[in-house]
């Protein structure tokens, strides 16, 4: 039709799908100038293409369709300045969050690469100085079985995402030393997530710098007792006194493999 563009022509010119244009019509965001009553074909005027450009650019900037619809009802330069300044703040927050995620993913990659390197000597027991670190705690409910540990870990993740806490993408548990001595190796009382030092966050525990003994367990979690027996025997033979509960750090778990035989857990005690 004269001076009108079909939906196919607009789709091609603007690099936007026909389905999107139809959806925009249905929600009242961008309606055609004319609809042929005989066949329902949609047609758009040349002046509408600038309007569509504005919609596409605002969407690219990050505005929601509802925000765009509200803005376009009667936008002026003053209105646009306010909207764009507000969006700049949102973009800045998104950039900060992406930088934090980038740092966490890099940390996770390094962990997994390290796990590959230790597979051939995972059963070694080592004493070394441990640096200061922080963990976000979540209590495990009775009867302290694996299901309750899993629930506590998920609650910890949910809280960290909801509150935008600077966690690392790793989980762990605390098993009381008394439980270890009694052979109750999987009865953890806390699940935790390593986290950056953060002020005014409830439930964050400091693990101080100090001398620690650690070993790795490789395989499904129910067989972790072998690793505990190994580390306890090592400490007894060398007259090392364990002065803390056990801290287990999941190096390789369900987040990175579907094969339990590849699970790797770091077990750590503070010693004197």
Mean pLDDT score, 16-33: 96
Whether 54 has a pLDDT exceeding 70, the answer reads yes
Dmax (CA) of the chain: 94
Mean pLDDT score, 177-186: 97
Angle of helix 46-61 versus helix 77-118 axis, rounded to 10: 40
Whether 12 has a pLDDT exceeding 90, the answer reads yes
pLDDT over 90, % of the chain: 86
Whether 30 has a pLDDT exceeding 90, the answer reads yes
Query: Is residue 155 a contact partner of residue 161, using CB atoms and an 8 Å limit?
Result: no
Alpha-carbon gap, residue 163 to 202, rounded angstroms: 11
Question: Quick one: pLDDT at residue 9?
Answer: 95
Reported pTM: 0.77
Mean pLDDT score, 149-177: 95
Place of tokens 């009865």: 187
- Regarding beta strands 204-207 and 34-35, do their DSSP bridges make them parallel or antiparallel, or are they unpaired? unpaired
Q: Which of 59-68, 80-89, 248-257 has the lowest mean pLDDT?
A: 248-257
pLDDT-derived band at 1, boundaries 50, 70, 90: low
Where is pLDDT greater, at 108 or 199? 108
Q: Which of 26-40, 114-128, 159-173, 258-272 has the lowest mean pLDDT?
A: 114-128
Predicted confidence (pLDDT) per residue in 224-271, tens digit: 999 999 999 999 999 999 999 999 999 999 888 999 999 999 999 999
The side-by-side arrangement of strands in the sheet containing 4-6 is 4-6, 42-45, 34-35
Question: Quick one: pLDDT at residue 146?
Answer: 94
The single-letter DSSP state of residue 271 is: B
Predicted confidence (pLDDT) per residue in 115-131, tens digit: 888 888 889 999 999 99
Question: Quick one: pLDDT at residue 11?
Answer: 96
């Amino acid at each position: 039709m004269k001076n009108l563009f079909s939906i196919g022509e607009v789709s091609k010119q603007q690099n936007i799908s026909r389905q999107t244009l139809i959806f925009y019509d249905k929600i009242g965001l961008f309606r055609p100038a004319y609809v042929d009553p005989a066949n329902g074909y949609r047609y758009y005027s040349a002046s509408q293409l600038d309007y569509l450009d504005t919609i596409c650019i605002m969407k690219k900037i990050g505005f929601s369709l509802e925000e765009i619809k509200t803005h376009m009802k009667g936008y002026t330069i003053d209105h646009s300045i306010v909207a764009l300044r507000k969006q700049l703040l949102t973009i800045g927050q998104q950039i900060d969050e992406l930088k934090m995620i980038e740092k966490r993913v890099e940390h996770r990659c390094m962990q997994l690469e390290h796990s590959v390197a230790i597979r051939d000597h995972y059963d070694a027991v080592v004493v070394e100085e441990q640096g200061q670190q922080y963990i976000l705690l979540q209590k495990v409910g009775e009867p302290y079985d694996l299901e309750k540990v899993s629930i506590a870990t998920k609650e910890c993740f949910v809280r960290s995402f909801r509150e935008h806490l600077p966690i690392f993408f790793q989980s762990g548990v605390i098993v009381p030393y008394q439980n270890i001595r009694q052979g109750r190796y999987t009865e953890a009382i806390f699940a935790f997530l390593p986290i950056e030092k953060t002020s005014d966050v409830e439930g964050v525990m400091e693990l101080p710098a100090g001398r620690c003994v650690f070993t790795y367990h490789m395989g499904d979690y129910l067989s972790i007792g072998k690793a505990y027996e190994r580390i306890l025997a090592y400490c007894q033979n060398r007259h090392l006194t364990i002065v803390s509960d056990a801290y287990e750090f999941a190096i390789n778990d369900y987040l990175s493999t579907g094969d339990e035989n590849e699970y790797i857990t770091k077990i750590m005690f503070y010693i004197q």
